[in-house]
Amino acid sequence: MNKKYLIIGGIILILALGGYFLAKNINKAKNPCYFAFYYLEGCTHCQQVKDEKSLDKLKELGIDVQEIDVNKDPVKDKIQQSDGNIYTPTFVIGDKMYIGYKSYDELLSLLPAQCKNK
């Protein structure tokens, strides 16, 4: 009977932790200022964004930029397209996804107004 309670307790703990992390990710997506840059090493357009210092300029404005290497972070459920492919660069701003190269000015124009005034 003790094993039964341990198993049930373990399942409850796993479900509670899973719910916590799920809620944490949902809150990020609901944050209109959430900014993620998904890139791939060797991607010329990704490197162009980095070389132009677009992300650094956004960080200087107080934007919390998450840089995510698609080879190191499991992103299949986050940015995989309906055709099964993952395209880079991909930008997620708030709950919207933008695929392909974007200049600093383009990225700035995609940010909601309340994010630019931090």
- In whole numbers, what is the pLDDT of the chain averaged over residues? 78
How far is the C-alpha of 103 from the C-alpha of 109, rounded, in Å?
10
What's the confidence (pLDDT) of residue 26? 42
pTM of the model: 0.68
Q: Where are the alpha helices (DSSP H) in 1-118?
A: 2-30, 44-51, 54-60, 76-79, 104-110, 113-116
Kindly write down the DSSP assignment for every residue of 20-34, as one continuous string.
HHHHHHHHHHH-TT-
Query: Which residues lie across from 97 on neighbouring strands?
Result: 92
Q: How confident is the model at residue 28 (pLDDT cuts 50, 70, 90)?
A: very low
List pLDDT tens digits, range 48-100. 999 999 999 999 988 999 999 888 867 656 766 667 777 789 999 998 989 99
